[in-house]
């Protein structure tokens, strides 16, 4: 389990460093880059909320089914 945590920590750090390097070397203007990043962050946030809501519904349905069996 500890290896998995280290892997994900390395993945996150690598992603952040790669993103920063990409921003520094990007040919776009600063404001254009910021708007692009903002749009992507909002998109990811919305996708995460949607996935969390779907998973929550699945878990509630499973819990209800288990409670019926008892």
pTM over 0.75: no
CA distance 20 to 18: 5
Cα dihedral sign, 24-29-32-35? positive
CA distance 42 to 7: 26
Q: What is the pLDDT of residues 32-54, one digit of tens each?
A: 878 888 999 999 999 999 999 99
pLDDT band at 20 (very low <50, low <70, confident <90, very high): confident
pLDDT of res. 1: 63
CA 49 to chain centre: 10
Q: Which residues contact 36 (CB under 8 A, 6 or more apart)?
A: 28
């Amino acid at each position: 389990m500890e290896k998995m945590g280290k892997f994900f920590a390395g993945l996150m750090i690598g992603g952040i460093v790669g993103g920063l390097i990409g921003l520094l070397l990007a040919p776009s203007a600063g404001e254009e880059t910021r708007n692009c990043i903002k749009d992507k962050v909002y998109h990811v946030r919305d996708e995460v909320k949607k996935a969390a809501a779907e998973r929550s519904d699945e878990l509630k349905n499973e819990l209800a089914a288990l409670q019926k069996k008892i």
